[in-house]
């Protein structure tokens, strides 16, 4: 009898030890992963606050003493960094406005209205997401040249006003979850399709619109190949393109380099931290389709 109790105690104890060991393992791995994710940032931040001499010191110190805050002023003085920042903001803002508006309109058509060919067209829309961008750069470049759009922001901004497959898909999925009864009730009250869209669907779809807005903002903020191909004069550069000019230096000043990178990273991080709920819910909405190159 006592034997049995002891052995039971033992197995309870064993289970407890196992559970604690599991907890420890999970937390160790979590911390390890966090370190791996954050070390590059810490190194960048630390370098950005070093003097020219400190950058080349061995062994390198993680905490620059004294921190050279002036680096962050110098990047704005040495290059038209502020102009690039403004350009990036402008392009991102116009794209955001255009894409949210147009994608919502198109998504409403796909989600709520019945017409011949709708399913075929929706399939075409989805398959455009599979077309590799590289196939289109040559003809688009030629086309924008004919339009006289080269070295303007138009090649980036104007296409946004025709909706993007990803945003349309995401919004359509959300619109489908709104009860159809609401549309019918609006119809009985004499509302047309446009009014139903503006007064009923849009206000109810705020979370999805928010998600689309954030995805769009992020993707234009990070875009490098577009500006690289279409913009040629320095005063029209966006931030990623401006950052790239540092790389072309013969004697790279790594501290300024890193300070500039930090500046380019700050805005998306802040936006992400503020709006992460939209982000996560948006990704959940498209399920496995939740990524945008």
Partner 1 sequence: MAISAKAKRPRLTERKKESIAGWLFISPWIIGFIIFTLGPLLYAIVLSFYQWDFIQDPKFIGLRNFERMFGDKLFWQSLKVTVSYGLMRVPMGIIVGIGAAILLNQRVKLLGLWRVIYYLPVILPPVATTLMWMWIYNPRYGVINNFLLSVFHIQGPAWLQDQRLVLPSFMVMAVWGAMGRNMLIYLSGLQSISKELYNAADVDGAKSLAKFFYITLPMLSPVIFFNLITGMIDVFKLFSQPFIMTEGGPRNASLFFYYYMFRYISERFQVGYAAAMSLFVFILIMILTVLVFRSSSAWVYYEGELKGRKEQ
The single residue among 21, 82, 93, 280 that binds partner 1, judged by CB under 8 A, is 280
CB of 2 to partner 1, least distance (A): 27
CB atoms near residue 160 (< 10 Å):
22
Burial class (CB in 10 A: 0-12, 13-18, 19+), 250: exposed
Measured CA to CA, the distance from residue 273 to residue 147 in angstroms comes to: 39
Query: Contacts with partner 1: how many residues (CB under 8 A)?
Result: 91
Measured CA to CA, the distance from residue 160 to residue 99 in angstroms comes to: 5
Toward partner 1, which CB reaches closer, 94 or 125? 125
Per-residue interface string for the shown chain with partner 1, residues 22-41, x marking contact by CB under 8 A: ----xx-xx--xx-xxxxxx
The span of 1-9, 68-76, 200-208, 224-232 binding partner 1 (CB under 8 A) equals 224-232
210 binds partner 1 (CB under 8 A): no
The single residue among 68, 95, 186, 218 that binds partner 1, judged by CB under 8 A, is 218
133 binds partner 1 (CB under 8 A): yes
CB of 10 to partner 1, least distance (A): 18
Binding to partner 1 in span 81-120, by CB under 8 A: 102, 105-106, 108-110, 113-116, 118
Measured CA to CA, the distance from residue 289 to residue 18 in angstroms comes to: 38
Contacts of 105 (CB under 8 A, 6+ apart): 163, 197
Contacts of 210 (CB under 8 A, 6+ apart): 275, 278, 282
């Amino acid at each position: 009898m006592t034997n049995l109790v002891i052995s039971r105690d033992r197995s309870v104890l064993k289970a407890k030890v196992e559970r604690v060991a599991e907890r420890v393992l999970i937390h160790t791995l979590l911390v390890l992963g966090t370190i791996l994710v954050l070390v590059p940032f810490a190194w960048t931040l630390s370098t950005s606050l070093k003097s020219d001499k400190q950058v080349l010191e061995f062994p390198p110190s993680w905490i620059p003493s004294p921190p050279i805050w002036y680096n962050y002023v110098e990047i704005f003085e040495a290059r038209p960094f502020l102009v690039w920042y403004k350009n990036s903001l402008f392009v991102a803002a116009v794209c955001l406005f255009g894409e949210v508006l147009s994608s919502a309109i198109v998504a409403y058509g796909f989600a709520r209205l019945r017409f011949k060919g709708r399913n075929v067209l929706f399939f075409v829309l989805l398959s455009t997401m599979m077309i590799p961008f590289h196939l289109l750069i040559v003809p688009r470049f030629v086309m924008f040249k004919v339009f006289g759009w080269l070295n303007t922001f138009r090649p980036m901004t104007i296409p946004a006003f025709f909706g993007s497959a990803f945003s349309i898909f995401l919004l359509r999925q959300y619109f489908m979850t709104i009860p159809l009864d609401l549309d019918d009730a609006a119809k009985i009250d004499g509302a047309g399709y446009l009014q139903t869209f503006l007064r009923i669907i849009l206000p109810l779809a705020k979370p999805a619109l928010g998600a689309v807005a954030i995805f769009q903002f992020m993707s234009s903020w990070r875009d490098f190949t577009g500006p690289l191909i279409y913009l040629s004069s320095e005063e029209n550069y966006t931030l990623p393109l401006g950052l790239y000019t540092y790389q072309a230096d013969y004697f790279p000043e790594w501290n300024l380099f890193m300070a500039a990178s930090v500046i380019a990273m700050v805005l998306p991080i802040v936006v992400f931290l503020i709006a992460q709920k939209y982000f996560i819910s948006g990704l959940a909405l498209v399920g496995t389709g939740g990524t945008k190159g």
